[in-house]
Amino acid sequence: MRREIGYKEKDGQLTKFGQWYAHRVQDTQYRDAPWCDMFLAWAADKAGLTDYVGSFAWTPSHAAWFMKQGAWTQKPEPGALVFFDWRGGKSYKGIDHVGIVERVTGAKIHTIEANVDRVWLKRKTRETDKVVGYGIPRLVKENLNEIRSTERPFVPAPRAEPEHGTPLDVLGTPPALLAVMVLTTIVLSLRVAGRRRGTHRRLRRLWNAPTAPDPPGAEPRRSAREEGSAREREPARKAARETARETASAGAAHPAGTRARSGPAATAAAKGAAVKGAVVKGAAARGSGAATAAKRTAPGRRRPYERG
């Protein structure tokens, strides 16, 4: 610090202390700002005492920092920072200037100050009537050391070791319980569905099942309805065949060229043949009707396509 005595700012109020502080805080406006406090910040940084001296460019803030640290006093001592109010005020808010006390002689203090007489860094001898107070770096250091000595070191809480469980412990977890519930629901639904299907009577033969093809030359198969109709018409066909046979027999008994019988005998024979044919037809009709009635009244299983 003493080696810097006699330093003079450059044109435009540029100083190396302002440039250093502007770079430190990343703000270029401090390059040409009043530099009395920035010089003290630079000197403290070079000496490694920033924690006890502080690093400021605005003197009221610097004084408030000492007050907060419990290092503000009205008694000067070598190494103390002295804060001035040129109007003679005693509030830190009106502070205009700062320097460092080099020694104390009676009621006067000998200081090293920057930005003195507007451009210089030099020694000054001051009266104390313009002094607002003193910031004591020594007290800041003592207070910080006391705080650090009373602080307990941080001891992390012991980590709980995870318990090693068995594979069966997984069954008690929520995912396992959910899986059991889902599987139980599926099994019950399958059993209920199986019982419902068992109540229906199964058909012995599928109605739409494919059948084997007919052999070559065989008559085509008839459906059940066609079979029933054929059975109903069978008595009538049989009666017709009987009548045809009788007619053929009568024709054979009277060949061509033979004189037919005439008279009462012929008439009686014709009537007898007609009566016999009528009796046969009536019997055939009654047989067909009886078969149809028996079929309608006979109990049997109803086919799917029949309606009640």
SS (H, E, C) 126-161: EECCCEEEEECHHHHHHHHHHHHHHCCCCCCCCCCC
CB atoms within 10 A of CB 163: 6
Contact between 9 and 35 under an 8 Å Cβ cutoff? The reply is yes
- Contacts of residue 26, defined as CB under 8 A and 6 or more positions apart, other chains included, come to none
Q: pLDDT tens digits for the chain (308 residues)?
A: 788 999 999 988 899 999 999 999 999 999 999 999 999 999 999 999 999 999 999 999 999 999 999 999 999 999 999 999 999 999 999 999 999 999 999 999 999 999 998 889 999 999 999 999 999 999 999 998 887 776 565 566 677 666 666 665 666 677 878 888 888 888 888 876 655 555 555 555 555 555 556 566 656 666 666 666 667 777 777 777 787 777 777 665 555 444 444 455 555 555 565 555 555 555 555 555 555 554 554 455 555 555 55
Residue 67: predicted pLDDT:
96
pLDDT at 257: 47
CA torsion, ordered 172, 175, 180, 184, to nearest 10 deg: 150
The pLDDT value given to residue 252: 59
Q: In 2-130, which ranges are E strands?
A: 72-73, 81-84, 97-105, 108-116, 120-127
- Tell me the β-bridge partners of 112: 100, 123
Domain boundaries, the chain: 2-150, 231-243+267-298
Nearest residue to 285 via CA among 248, 241, 238? 238
Question: Which candidate, 306, 275, 288, 174, places its Cα nearest to that of 231?
Answer: 288
pLDDT at position 287: 56
Spatial distance between the Cα atoms of 246 and 251, rounded to a whole number of angstroms: 9
Torsion of CA 120, 121, 125, 128, to 10 degrees: 100
Among candidate residues 132, 67, 70, 71, the one with its CA nearest the CA of residue 99 = 132
Q: What pTM value is reported for the model?
A: 0.50
